[in-house]
Amino acid sequence: MARWTRLLPLMLGFLLSTPSWGEEPLIVAPSISEVKITTDFAGTTVEAVGAMSRSGDLIIKLMGPKQEATLSRETKLGPFWVEGERVKMEDAPSLLFLYATAPIASLLSPEEQQKYGLSLEGVWVRVEPQLKAHAASDWRQAFLRLKEKQGYYHEDDTAIRVFGDRLFIANMRLPADLQVGNYTIETLLVKSGKVVGHTTGGFRVHLSGIERWVWVAAHDRPWLFGSLFTLLAMLLGLVLNAIPFRRGR
């Protein structure tokens, strides 16, 4: 409750700046505008605070930047298991959290879920190289199962708390190994199986401190970064070799 009280001034500011409920049936404000990843970053919680002009159900979609991932399938060669076919998964969101006040399947039809991208099973993934339809589907399903198992894709119908049928707050826990980039928060107000309000916000995730320096150096000057890293490793080896060690008897 103390955390909710601290966020009330932010919500009141948004309410006072809105011209009319007729134009804005839904107002949402993320509690932060950026997330800084430092050495001791262990994940964080983002709160989406909002207000709605009428009672209804809410759906919040938190989506991370797109990513590329390579999957491989092990095959048996005699008594050994070796790496077999490899495919690249492209254009899938690195993170996808779906929050709602009730199971999404009970709030919207499959067509509406597909329209707003509100189904974990319906996430679009491009598979490279091009494969036959059934083979591509198998790889896609394997990718989605892996993302759910790792906790990057999930659906939760208990994370949104509603106060007085008008104000609400959602707690969204972010993992420690976030991908750098822009994250979007889409909020939908649902009434009688239809979306009657829709708003979009977001925040940015970026590196801070030595992590940012290393990332910039590795991406902007890879040859220089690799040379310096190799040189430092050689110097460390020479230093360790020069330290006398006492032999055990």
pLDDT at 246: 54
C-alpha of 102 from chain center: 21
Total count of domains within the chain: 2
Say how many CA atoms lie within 13 Å of 190 toward its Cβ: 25
Let me know if residue 249 belongs to a domain. no
pLDDT at 223: 60
Answer yes or no: do 132 and 215 share one domain: no
Residues 94-104 pLDDT 10s: 999 999 999 99
Answer yes or no: do 31 and 139 share one domain: yes
pLDDT at 150: 92
Closest CA to 113 of 165, 184, 49, 186: 186
List per-residue pLDDT tens for the chain, 249 residues long.
Answer: 555 455 555 555 545 444 444 445 788 888 888 998 887 888 899 999 999 888 899 999 999 999 998 888 777 676 776 677 888 989 999 999 999 999 999 999 999 999 999 999 889 888 888 777 788 888 899 999 999 999 999 999 999 999 988 899 999 999 988 999 999 999 999 999 999 999 999 999 988 755 544 545 455 566 665 666 677 777 777 777 766 655 544
The span from the CA of 127 to the CA of 90, in Å, is 6
Let me know if residue 155 belongs to a domain. yes
Let me know if residue 96 belongs to a domain. yes
> pTM of the entire structure?
0.75
pLDDT at 130: 76
pLDDT at 26: 81
Answer yes or no: do 48 and 21 share one domain: yes
Closest CA to 151 of 114, 113, 123, 178: 178
Strands 26-30 and 57-63: unpaired
Residues 128-166 pLDDT 10s: 887 777 888 888 999 999 999 999 999 999 999 999 888
Answer yes or no: do 130 and 180 share one domain: yes
End-to-end CA distance of the chain: 65
Answer yes or no: do 219 and 137 share one domain: no
Answer yes or no: do 40 and 71 share one domain: yes
pLDDT at 226: 66
Answer yes or no: do 229 and 199 share one domain: no
| Angle of CA points 162, 167, 172, to nearest 5° | 60
Answer yes or no: do 60 and 80 share one domain: yes
pLDDT at 209: 57
CATH of the domain at 132: 2.60.40.1930
pLDDT at 17: 45
From residue 160, alpha-carbon distances to 50, 148, 216 in Å are 10, 20, 37
Range of the domain at 225: 209-244
Answer yes or no: do 170 and 187 share one domain: yes
Answer yes or no: do 216 and 137 share one domain: no
Closest CA to 52 of 200, 187, 194, 192: 187
Answer yes or no: do 84 and 177 share one domain: yes
Q: Are 41 and 176 in contact (CB under 8 A)?
A: yes
Closest CA to 88 of 149, 151, 140: 140
Answer yes or no: do 36 and 46 share one domain: yes
30 DSSP assignment: E
